[in-house]
């Protein structure tokens, strides 16, 4: 599954914020609507919306609308892409000394 560098970059950028990590941790449990995410994370709606958009643009979450509610869940395809990208660096582990950093 070959991906462009912009896909990889946007994925890691989205993972670089503590609140976005917290959102992903909550969504690991189950799909939730925005109001449930607000309650679970204790943040206001506009802040949450900004971070959800970043996660969605990066392909880490997807949404669906049911009536007037929008539900979010993890989109595992992008996680697989990022995992595969990182796995390419395992081949370098043989080149590293047993203890590379203090």
pLDDT band at 1 (very low <50, low <70, confident <90, very high): very low
Name the region of 65 (left: φ>0; alpha: ψ -120 to 50; beta: rest): beta
Q: Which two tokens stand for residue 52?
A: 């959800």
pLDDT tens digits, 22-42: 999 999 999 999 999 999 999
pLDDT tens digits, 56-99: 999 999 999 999 999 999 999 999 999 999 988 877 666 666 66
| Prediction pTM value | 0.84
Instruction: Give residue 88's pLDDT.
Output: 85
- Domains, the chain, ordered by start: 5-87 (1.10.10.10)
């Amino acid at each position: 599954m070959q991906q462009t560098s912009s896909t990889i970059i946007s994925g890691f950028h989205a993972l670089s914020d503590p609140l976005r990590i917290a959102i992903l941790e909550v969504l690991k449990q189950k799909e939730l609507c925005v109001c449930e995410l607000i309650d679970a994370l204790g943040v206001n709606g506009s802040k949450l919306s900004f971070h959800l958009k970043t996660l969605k643009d990066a392909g880490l979450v997807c949404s669906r609308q049911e009536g007037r509610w929008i539900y979010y869940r993890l989109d595992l395809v992008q996680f697989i892409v990022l995992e595969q990208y990182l796995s390419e660096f395992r081949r370098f582990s043989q080149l590293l000394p047993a203890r590379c950093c203090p």
